[in-house]
Structure 1
Amino acid sequence: MTMSLVACGGEDEAGTDSYTIGLLLPNRVTPRWEKWDKPLIEQRLKELCPGCTLVYANAGGDVDRQRQQMASMITKGVRVLILDPADSKAMRSSVQEAHNAGASVVAYDRLAEGPISGYVSFDGAQVGRLQGEALLKAMGGGGSVVMMNGDPVSANATWFRKGAMSVIEGKLKIVRSYDTVAWSTDNAHANMSAAIAALGSDRIGGVLAANDSIATGVISAFKTAGVRKLPPVTGQDADLDAVQRIVKGEQYMTVYKPFAAEAAAVADMAVALGRGEDVRDTTATTTVDSATTEDIPAVLLTPRAVTVGDIKQTLVKDGVYTIEQICTRKLRPACAQAGLSP
């Protein structure tokens, strides 16, 4: 799908730009990509570069499809590619292909291997630390935990886990640990069901779920097993259904990553690269290393933990959701108790 970014103001310099920027997102399982990231990036690009054109593709969780999508964009002469890799390692050859063709690649949210020109994300270690700290608090400082990690092909999954382990190691006993292929709710449900069957629900004091899609599968597995009193479960991405579960007391917390700030930062970097600027001098605030490349110019933003008492001053205040969106009719009593009445 191609969207022309028609003029809507911007600096005089932007009026002279007329190149193409590609946006490649990894899947449709995680609601934020289509609901927040894509429109926010498009909006910021319109402001910065009215004469530019955005070409968009979603891989639907299929790395081969993402390779094809990226190859098509390179063939069409896209100058800058914003890539959230479906598989950080497997996309390396595509990143190299783009580099060879003279196109710049900005890794978005997940670090890609190969000669990328920049990286924009949230501090993944801090995401994991926030999850670990919240779980440790909810569990009273000790107990047995099941680790429900992210997709092993994502560089972020390892980053999140390391951050969490830096907090909980030696304090919580890890009784099972699973990788969640494609961040799939169904895969998470199957893994959690296996843990419950092997251990018994009473031996699981908490679950460190890497994101909200995984938390969905975890919680449904407990319910399927007939567990009424759920252990604390973490999450990430502040999906609406996860926020509603937090209000109901089914999920303990999520990690909120202000999408507008991340989208704006990657658009800024993409436009700077499109204009031939050195992003080390303009948009980047730090550097990171990937498995293949050192000193990649980067922007790493700060995530925020959200429990039931934080929803109003974070997600509602920032306009992510209104109280009316969160508090459906069935949730109104729980919302009132949480201080979220309209």
Structure 2
Amino acid sequence: MDRGFSNARLIMFTLTLIFFTSACENAAETRATTDPSAVEKNHSPGQPSEEGKIKIGFSMDTLEEERWLRDRALFKEAVENLGAEVEIMAANEDDAKQILQAETLISQGVDLLVVVPNNAEATAAIVNKAHLAGIKVISYDRLVKNADIDMYISFDNEQVGELQAKAITELVPKGRYVLIGGASTDYNAHLLKKGVFNVLQPYIDRGDITIVYDQWTDNWTPTNAYKNMEVALKANNNHIDAVIAANDATAGGAIAALEAHGLAGKIPVSGQDAELAAAQRIVVGTQHLTIYKPLNMLAEKAAELAVKMAKGESIVADRKINNGKIEVPSVLLAPIAVDRHNIDETIIRDHFHSREDVYMVDQ
């Protein structure tokens, strides 16, 4: 055989082998950078992503109420100000959807998960799934029940109920009370009611106050609160002296029912969240008070805790709340009672709402 021909064939074989090996390496590199599963496997919770940023998942119950839109915006801003990024999903009060969305966030490789639960019991499944993936979970504003939650941050919801009841009993120390509760599936609603009865029970024991109607409100909606208030009015022949409503949405529904019977402004009604509509009702006299919870404080503190915990830093909580399974490390912020006497010095001064919007005047 011709020696020259053999050498040529050897050279061609060598070049082909080099080309094939190089192509395989390039393909592997391409898969590593474009295949999401490949990225996830190389990114462990608590370690910055390839972009160098901590990623926080925020699973929200709903964006149907004014306050949750604020929470979303404030939390996102606070996380980004800390140099991290956040992925936000809202479930529109659907338990199954919230669990599915949380699974999506977990599969995306978030470093920590923050949850506003729709159903305090059902969301325990989210905590379990996150922990299996090595991801810690913070319960935001509402407590997840019967789960090994890592941290709970909220306002002191028991104190919210106490502030509502104290303000109403100062106006009506004796009389027939209606309680329009929140959603029974929300543990905050139970904490709120506990705070209300901390104050009311001595009055009840003395016979000064009688609870003539006490009902939960499905999903916290004004429509369901309106129906509850209608039932309460009918059952008591409109003979009611005070209403403690769990939040401003339920207060709005109760006040609409009172208005239909010519009683709006004649019966004091409480609420919470300092929604604009509630602030407007306060200045015109149809709602007596709301509880102001500066959401910027909540969002900023939650963002701070989330980023620190995602980095593996230890957090010391000053309180613990039992969620039915464990004593959950908790950070509880102080709420503020607001009526027409201090509305200017609180929600307006803090730019939570503008004076023009609250008093419904042209700028």
Alignment of structure 1 residues 69-108 onto 2, 5 Å = 69-108=101-140
Name the CA distance, whole Å, in 2 between partners of 1:265 and 1:17: 22
Amino acid across the alignment from 2:324: A
Name the CA distance, whole Å, in 1 between partners of 2:104 and 2:266: 47
Q: Does 1:192 align with 2:225?
A: no
Name the CA distance, whole Å, in 1 between partners of 2:178 and 2:259: 16
Deviations 1:267-324 (A, max 9, x none): 01100111011112xxx33222211122x22210000000101101000111111111
Aligned partner of 1:124 in structure 2 is 157
Give the TM-score taking structure 2 as reference length. 0.82
Q: Does 1:25 align with 2:60?
A: yes
8 Å contact kept, 1:286–1:298: yes
Percent identity among equivalent residues? 34
Aligned partner of 1:58 in structure 2 is 90
8 Å contact kept, 2:54–2:307: no
Name the CA distance, whole Å, in 2 between partners of 1:193 and 1:97: 42
Amino acid across the alignment from 1:20: K
Alignment of structure 1 residues 1-342 onto 2, 5 Å = 17-34=52-69, 36-49=70-83, 52-113=84-145, 114-139=147-172, 141-171=173-203, 172-201=209-238, 203-227=239-263, 229-280=265-316, 284-294=317-327, 296-329=328-361
8 Å contact kept, 1:110–1:154: yes
8 Å contact kept, 2:265–2:285: no
Amino acid across the alignment from 1:190: K
Distance 1:96 1:21, change over 3 A: same
Amino acid across the alignment from 1:123: D
Name the CA distance, whole Å, in 2 between partners of 1:117 and 1:267: 15
Aligned partner of 2:4 in structure 1 is none
Amino acid across the alignment from 2:60: L
Worse-superposed segment, 220-229 or 254-263: 220-229
Name the CA distance, whole Å, in 1 between partners of 2:194 and 2:258: 26
Q: Unpaired runs of 5+ in structure 2?
A: 1-47, 204-208
Deviations 1:44-65 (A, max 9, x none): 111212xx32110111111111
**SS of alignment partner, residue 163 of structure 2:** helix
**SS of alignment partner, residue 64 of structure 2:** coil
Deviation at 1:228, TM superposition (A): 5.1
Name the CA distance, whole Å, in 2 between partners of 1:92 and 1:26: 14
Aligned partner of 2:16 in structure 1 is none
Deviations 1:36-81 (A, max 9, x none): 21111111111212xx321101111111111111111111111111
**SS of alignment partner, residue 308 of structure 1:** coil
Deviations 1:178-206 (A, max 9, x none): 100100111100010011111122x1100
Q: Find the structure with the greater CA-based Rg.
A: 2
Q: Unpaired runs of 5+ in structure 1?
A: 1-12, 333-341
Name the CA distance, whole Å, in 2 between partners of 1:80 and 1:247: 42
Distance 1:229 1:299, change over 3 A: closer
Name the CA distance, whole Å, in 2 between partners of 1:129 and 1:96: 33
8 Å contact kept, 2:274–2:290: yes
Deviation at 1:17, TM superposition (A): 4.4
8 Å contact kept, 2:256–2:264: no
Name the CA distance, whole Å, in 2 between partners of 1:306 and 1:98: 38
Amino acid across the alignment from 1:47: N
Name the CA distance, whole Å, in 2 between partners of 1:17 and 1:156: 36
Distance 1:241 1:100, change over 3 A: same
Deviations 1:227-263 (A, max 9, x none): 3553000000000000000001000000000111111
Worse-superposed segment, 21-30 or 236-245: 21-30
Deviation at 1:30, TM superposition (A): 2.4
Task: Report the count of equivalent residues.
Answer: 310
**SS of alignment partner, residue 299 of structure 2:** helix
8 Å contact kept, 1:287–1:297: yes
Name the CA distance, whole Å, in 2 between partners of 1:117 and 1:313: 36
8 Å contact kept, 1:24–1:66: yes
RMSD of aligned alpha carbons? 1.8
